[in-house]
Amino acid sequence: MSGDFAQSPAPGPLTRDRHFRFGHDREIGGSRRSAAQVYWTEYGACTRAEEGPAREFERAMVEMAACFGSLSIACAGGPLAIAAIAVAERLGMPARVVTVALDGVAPPLPPTRLEVLRIDAPFAEFAAFAGDFAERAGSGCGWTALAAFIAARDDGPHLADHGEITLVDHGVDRVRAAAPAPGNIALADAEAFTGLDRWMAREGRPGIAQPLRWSAELVAAQLACPPMRHWIAAALAGGPTRARAPDSHSARLAMWRQILPVLGAAVPARPWPDPELRARIRLLTRALRRRAPGGGAVHHHPLHRLASRLGIDFGPGLGEGRDLYGTVGAVPPDFGDAA
């Protein structure tokens, strides 16, 4: 696949046709002004049949590069960045890689012919930035603050290594590791994650904060890939393994293991393998949550409603959750499909 990467005017963070939206109460975008405000997200409808996650990710990379003329690919060691680097190299995109080392500890970076910008910073500098970020963006997530920290030191159109898509089964009791209720599946959109969107918009930082939500077709392809379908089917059918998998984390990793070789990339090792650094970011997250009160909401988008909008058929069992969850968190109807 090839594309025209010529520069064209583009605003800050976006998705194609701005199909992914979030807000508080009746406001689109922006930050929380009151702890009483209700956080919501919404997705646009597909305009064609999705062609699988590998193909849709490649298509998204071409479209994102065409928006800005070039891309700075943030690499925090996750599969999203690994895939983006591989596609950019193979298609000859004007792109570079931006990564960070905190107190000398950096995430694993794949071999690449692209230019690499490595940002070396003490953890204390990052922690100070994260505190300001939490207050300004309403996000108490240390990993989201790290994504913003990398973006703040990047002067190119920024492609964030951020925003994996996760499904949760609310019929599972995580504390007791039991499944007392029927499968009740939703896509979880954390207010803390879209803190990066809010921060990039406020700073006038060009780029994409949610690459995996770039198009409705890319979202649909991720949800409909074989590992995710298997997890959804297991959640709806019940059985002894369901309580051990209350979310789609393992299915998401399985998806990447399938599509990375197709894109020409190797499956990465664990991102940020240093356990001490991960522990420090967990402790930092606790402190940040106190500086972003009320900013920890999660909008649980019922999968039966989202599947209908995206044109995905997961079978008749999915609709059984409608009576339990079908009217929660709907976007105010007068928003329609306006941007």
Number of domains in the chain: 1
CA max distance for the chain: 55
Bridge partner residues of 115 (DSSP): 96
Could you tell me the residue range of the domain that residue 144 belongs to?
Answer: 51-331
Report pLDDT digits (tens) over 12-70.
558 998 899 999 888 888 888 888 888 999 999 999 999 999 999 999 999 999 999 99
Is residue 34 included in any domain, yes or no? no
Is residue 127 included in any domain, yes or no? yes
Which is more confidently placed, 3 or 184? 184
Report DSSP state, residue 105. Answer: B
> What does the alpha-carbon distance between residue 63 and residue 57 come to, in Å, rounded to a whole number?
10
Q: Tell me which range, 181-190, 246-255, 285-294, is most confidently predicted by mean pLDDT.
A: 246-255
Is residue 40 included in any domain, yes or no? no
Is residue 114 included in any domain, yes or no? yes
Q: How confident is the model at residue 333 (pLDDT cuts 50, 70, 90)?
A: very low
Is residue 190 included in any domain, yes or no? yes
**Mean pLDDT score across all residues of the chain:** 87
From 179, 172, 183, select the one nearest 233 (Cα to Cα): 183
Q: What pLDDT sits at residue 323?
A: 64
Is residue 201 included in any domain, yes or no? yes
The three-state DSSP-derived secondary structure of 98-146 is: EEEEECCECCCCCCCCCEEEEEEECHHHHHHHHHHHHHHHCCCCHHHHH
Q: What is the pTM of this model?
A: 0.90
> What does the alpha-carbon distance between residue 235 and residue 253 come to, in Å, rounded to a whole number?
17
Q: What pLDDT sits at residue 322?
A: 63
Q: How confident is the model at residue 339 (pLDDT cuts 50, 70, 90)?
A: very low
Report pLDDT digits (tens) over 57-115.
999 999 999 999 999 999 987 899 999 999 999 999 999 999 999 999 998 888 999 99
Is residue 307 included in any domain, yes or no? yes
Cα distances (angstroms) measured from residue 274 to each of 104, 230, 255 = 11, 32, 24
Is residue 3 included in any domain, yes or no? no
CB 107 within 8 A of CB 271: yes
Q: How confident is the model at residue 275 (pLDDT cuts 50, 70, 90)?
A: confident
What would the DSSP string read from start to end of 151-173? Answer: HHT--S-EE-S-----EEETTSB
